[in-house]
Chain A
């Protein structure tokens, strides 16, 4: 069974600085999708970025980028120029090409200080 591990329960960063959130996953499949979701205090789950496993190029969305290391089964999220509004819980998620379910990690709570 696939598993997703986020080893950092909490992280903190100062405004305008860069922070990296870690995610590793375990799978025997070669074709899958990876996602980062953001959950602010409002509880609303918001997609931040997605990566297709067969694409070698790392995905980027404005200040958010990923470092996808397929061989190492690692999928870290880098937030550049951190803003107060980035404070939230971040979830890494895995989705097999052959299955419908998203498998989530336990989340990393990010705090941003001014």
Chain B
């Protein structure tokens, strides 16, 4: 099993450009999440999904959109990138239920110039 994979691993954007980050998991997990990690801030939840076709806002959703058209994929979109969105983005997935651990992808380092 590959676990949780993220594409791409690195990306540089100019202000105003758009892009989509792809997350895929092969563990048949119901729940999927997008986090951002900034220096000194820990990880903060952007959006999450509790099943195919459902999404919900997390702690810092502004400027991002998500879609979960297939159970195994969770897409994070930036419609008009801003320098404040420079960060490392992590996708995670977990089984249904609060007890179960979240499995994380390797992260995507995004720089917005």
Contacts and interface: CB of A to CB of B under 8 A. Distances in A.
Interface in B55-86: 56, 58-59
A104 B42 CA distance: 6
Interface in A21-73: 32-33, 35, 42-47, 50, 52
Nearest to A106: B42
Nearest to B88: A43
A35 B101 contact: yes
A97 B98 contact: yes
B99 A102 contact: no
Interface residues of B, number: 23
A41 B101 CA distance: 21
Given A33-B98, A33-B99, A43 B107 contact: yes
Nearest to B43: A104
Interface residues on A, range: 20 to 34
Contacts of B111: none
A47 B100 CA distance: 11
Contacts of A106: 40-42
Interface stretch (B11-19, B21-29, B44-52): B44-52
A113 B113 CA distance: 37
B101 A50 contact: yes
A96 B107 contact: no
Contacts of A100: 31, 33, 48, 50, 56, 98
Given A43-B88, A100-B33, 8 more contacts: A42-B106, A46-B104, A47-B101, A52-B99, A91-B43, A97-B98, A100-B48, A106-B40
